Amino acid sequence: MSEQLPLALRWPAHQRFETFLAGANADGIDILRHAARGDGIDRVYLCGARGSGKTHLLVAACAEALAGQRSAQYLDLARVARPVADTIRRFGGSELLAIDNVDAIVGARDAEHALFDLYNRCLAEGSTLLFAGSDAPAALGLGLADLVSRLGACTQWLLRPLDEASRRRALQVRAADRGIELDENVLDWLFARQARDLGTLVPLLDRIDRATLAAQRRVTIPFLRQLLDEAD
């Protein structure tokens, strides 16, 4: 199952509950912590817009489970090799399974049935299941009614988006972890010209990190302007 092998071996250190800027989502993080530890919550479905932190939280839950001596696996349905149904059928065998981007299989009959079968198998085996999607199960457009019903029976949590002040703070914290200083003027300029969701801003921060290391320069507005112009 090579699709989940990298995350099965090495959970990215920056994706932890402690590094997630919760905002209004603190209660939901408590739910995931209990699920990761096996404390009575065994089915969770979280939904939210792109960049809201779904993947971060699923990976954090897997890392938390491993820290508590529970086996864990992560599978991103938007990134697996075809056929997706075969990958889903091979997935499993751990005490916690995290399945990201459920909406990626909408309309794929075989994959929907495979996920339904996986759900039932994990239920019988006593595994904890975590799901993430862009919308609530009933609103995704899944064709298999039984799968909608199973996902709808999970404890559901809608991730609330961060306000702009929190997104700015989150970006500054992540930049500081890379040794990058983003002052307020730079952030003003950046937020005026880029999409403001973290799903866009964090990959941009990775590009900025590589560019500053290569050029041995600090981040200024002229430097960013040049970097973005070159990308365009």
Predicted local confidence at residue 192, as pLDDT: 87
What does the pLDDT look like over 162-218, one tens digit per residue?
A: 778 888 888 888 888 888 889 899 999 988 888 777 777 878 888 898 898 888 888
Mean of per-residue pLDDT scores for the chain: 87
Q: Are strands 128-133 and 43-47 parallel, antiparallel or unpaired?
A: parallel
57 vs 51: CA distance, rounded Å: 12
Q: Where does the pLDDT of residue 156 fall: very low under 50, low under 70, confident under 90, or very high at 90 and above?
A: very high
Predicted local confidence at residue 100, as pLDDT: 96
CB of 225 within 8 A of CB of 193? no
27 vs 232: CA distance, rounded Å: 41
Could you tell me the domains of the chain? Answer: 2-158 (3.40.50.300), 164-231 (1.10.8.60)
Spatial CB neighbours of 231, under 8 Å, sequence gap ≥ 6: 207
Question: Which of 41-55, 125-139, 207-221 has the highest mean predicted lDDT (pLDDT)?
Answer: 125-139
